[in-house]
Structure 1
Amino acid sequence: MLAPSLFPMMVFALASLSIGGVAVTVFYPQVVKASSFKRRFESIAAFGNQKSSSDEQGRDRRRSVEETLRELEEQQKAKTRKAGRPTLTGRVRQAGLTWTRNTYYAVCAGSGLASYLIAFLLGLGPLTALGFGLAGGLLLPHLYVNTKRKGRFKRFSAEFPNAVDVIVRGLKAGLPVSDCLRVIAAEAQEPVRSEFIAIVQDQTLGMPIDEAVQRLWERVPLPEANFFAIVIGIQSKTGGSLSEALGNLSKVLRERKKMQAKIKAMSSEAKSSAGIIGVLPFLVAGAVYFTSPDYMSLLFSTLTGKIVLVGCALWMGIGILVMRKMINFDF
């Protein structure tokens, strides 16, 4: 039996526990909800901190890429000025010829002598034949080197996207960049093969890959080689997926090739019309000369006729240049 003095205390304790239990039952969902909100707010704040740190990393990467692009742009401007005025040795090298400077001068002398002999044998005077000899010695080797140079650049542009695809497939297969370059140097078509052989040789001598690729653009001053050098330079300084970047570059190069073919197809009609218009006056003049030589001989025997011929040649030249400018699309 409990003492009568303890009974009020037990009643108070039981009443307090009952009231406390009712209060917990009523307010517990609110407390739990508040704690879940707190946890959610804490998680959002942590995610915001992570996002801010990732944003800072992204800004740092963009800043690094921008600085690299500015450096490359400055280097490209300096090298563009240099590539726009190649030396005689550089032009011969870009043409794929093995001539030295002395060989080029010997070819100029031989061309000049041959032009002089041909003009002299055709019955022209010594002074006129000498003029033809000087023109042939200066122009014929220059035109030959330029023709070979343009043809080599054209073959390089046609084969270069395949070489970039080889690098992309090699990188996706796990090969390093140097091995991919060696594969191209061994298996690609000329002139891509010889240019990548030079890159591999530069790397063998200890030159970094970005500098070796920059020298490719110096040897082959084409937009395709410039794009390739920029991609390699950015990746070597800022990191990133080289296979993805080169894959996008390959797509760009092939789209440029398609655009070039489309422009050529669209401008073929205009080029044919310009060729017909340019040749037609000479054909008509030749036909008139053979049918009525006395009628045409006035243009060659009188002062007025010679002035007319000079004026016609001047206006024909201007017209041909204007038509060439109108149908020569650059992209």
Structure 2
Amino acid sequence: MENVILFMVLYLFSTLFFVLVGMFILRQSIVNKIDLRIKTYVPESLNERESLEEKNKKFKTPTLITSIGALIKGLPMNTKLKKKIEEAGLPIKLEDFYVVRIGSAVIFFLISILLKYHIIISIIFFVIGFWLPILYVNHKRNRRLARCVNQLAETLGIMANSLRAGFSFMQAMQLIGKEMPDPIGTEFERTVQDIAYGVPIEKAFENMVTRLPDKNLEMVLSALLIQRKSGGNLAELLETMQETVLGRVRIKDEIKTLTAEGRISGIIITLIPVALGVYLYFVNRDYFGILLEEPLGLLILGLSVFFLIVGWFVIRKIVRIEV
């Protein structure tokens, strides 16, 4: 009965936490877009005119999420993580994302404590909970980049047909921004807005590649910039690049098919020891518990995990072929 009550309390706590975080993220998504636009086009000197006293009044009672995030804001790995969040298209600030990671880790740790697992298992649960949001961001980023590759060929075809129909280049880009879904449509629309606000087209294209780091897109934008300087038939150039992108996508799909066996083998080989260890821990804890209680057992487990990770990365390196 006591375990049931603890489980219910933990469940209510975790549900309330994620509901509050979700409401905060939804509220901040619009604010983040406005802040990003202001920082892009308003000089820093204008933003710094606000006196320190006014800033202190404005942030006199910060929220819990802002307070915790401010403590973690200066970590050195922030630049890379912030770039990943932007590439994934998630409307969340970096400090808020750290709070989500900490909350997820604490919930996983409390669940393991509630289930009366060994302290080492609880620590593993804590680490898993801390890294799950990162895996989600990587998943969203990879899916967004994959959609970009699939949409790019169609985008080039639409732009070529629009130019042949009498549209200007900027009108063709506006058409892509209105008609195409995320991410191509969103990024083209944002780039058109940047150019309309006075950003040079070279800088606007560079910002697009930064937000959407795809080699095919980078190749297309570089060709467009060269064409603007050298001249030529832009519609014909777009059709040629469309054929090139389609060829690269076809080759990439063929390579993915040929390396599927190696990737699946790597996943199976990596998961078998983990699954066997989990099975033994739950089925026969006395048999498996020696590895967690004896120093030699901990050393064996540590070396096993290390070589398992090394093997996983080696297999991924072998089957990953850049096109």
The equivalent of 2:212 in structure 1 is: 220
Identity over the aligned pairs, expressed in percent?
28
The equivalent of 1:266 in structure 2 is: 258
Cα deviation, 1:101-130, whole Å, max 9, x if unaligned, reads: 443243234223323322321225789857
Of 76, 96, 99, which aligns to 1:103?
96
Work out whether 1:231 is the aligned partner of 2:223.
yes
The equivalent of 2:186 in structure 1 is: 194
The equivalent of 1:120 in structure 2 is: 113
What is the alpha-carbon distance in structure 2 between the residues aligned to residue 315 and residue 187 of structure 1? 49
Cα deviation, 1:134-166, whole Å, max 9, x if unaligned, reads: x35742333322221222111111111111111
Structure-2-length-normalised TM-score: 0.65
Helix, strand or coil for the counterpart of 2:151? helix
Task: Give the number of the structure whose alpha-carbon radius of gyration is greater.
Answer: 1
Name the count of aligned residue pairs: 247
Helix, strand or coil for the counterpart of 1:98? coil
What is the alpha-carbon distance in structure 1 between the residues aligned to residue 99 and residue 282 of structure 2? 42
Letter in 2 for 1:107: V
What is the alpha-carbon distance in structure 1 between the residues aligned to residue 271 and residue 124 of structure 2? 27
CA contact (8 A) 1:210 1:232 kept: no
Helix, strand or coil for the counterpart of 1:94? helix
Question: Which shifted more, 106-115 or 160-169?
Answer: 106-115
Helix, strand or coil for the counterpart of 1:207? coil
CA contact (8 A) 1:210 1:236 kept: no
The equivalent of 1:141 in structure 2 is: 133
The equivalent of 1:161 in structure 2 is: 153
Work out whether 1:90 is the aligned partner of 2:83.
yes
CA contact (8 A) 1:274 1:323 kept: yes
CA contact (8 A) 1:95 1:149 kept: yes
CA shift for structure 1 position 226:
0.9
The equivalent of 1:245 in structure 2 is: 237
Question: Which shifted more, 263-272 or 252-261?
Answer: 263-272
Letter in 2 for 1:196: F
CA shift for structure 1 position 191:
1.3
Cα deviation, 1:164-207, whole Å, max 9, x if unaligned, reads: 11111112222211111111111112211111110221232233
Work out whether 1:276 is the aligned partner of 2:268.
yes
Say if 1:287 and 1:145 are closer, same or farther in 2 by CA, change over 3 A.
closer
What is the alpha-carbon distance in structure 2 between the residues aligned to residue 97 and residue 131 of structure 1? 27
What is the alpha-carbon distance in structure 1 between the residues aligned to residue 129 and residue 299 of structure 2? 30
Helix, strand or coil for the counterpart of 2:198? coil
The equivalent of 2:305 in structure 1 is: 313
CA contact (8 A) 1:231 1:246 kept: no
What is the alpha-carbon distance in structure 1 between the residues aligned to residue 264 and residue 121 of structure 2? 35
CA shift for structure 1 position 270:
2.0
What is the alpha-carbon distance in structure 2 between the residues aligned to residue 240 and residue 146 of structure 1? 40
Letter in 2 for 1:99: I
Say if 1:158 and 1:300 are closer, same or farther in 2 by CA, change over 3 A.
same
Letter in 1 for 2:312: I
Helix, strand or coil for the counterpart of 2:166? coil
Work out whether 1:206 is the aligned partner of 2:198.
yes
Work out whether 1:327 is the aligned partner of 2:319.
yes
Cα deviation, 1:268-311, whole Å, max 9, x if unaligned, reads: 12223333333444566678889998776665565544444444
Structure 1, unaligned stretches of length 5 or more?
A: 1-83
What is the alpha-carbon distance in structure 1 between the residues aligned to residue 269 and residue 188 of structure 2? 45
Helix, strand or coil for the counterpart of 1:265? helix
What is the alpha-carbon distance in structure 2 between the residues aligned to residue 103 and residue 181 of structure 1? 34
CA RMSD of aligned residues (A): 3.4
Of 164, 175, 181, which aligns to 1:172?
164
What is the alpha-carbon distance in structure 1 between the residues aligned to residue 244 and residue 272 of structure 2? 41
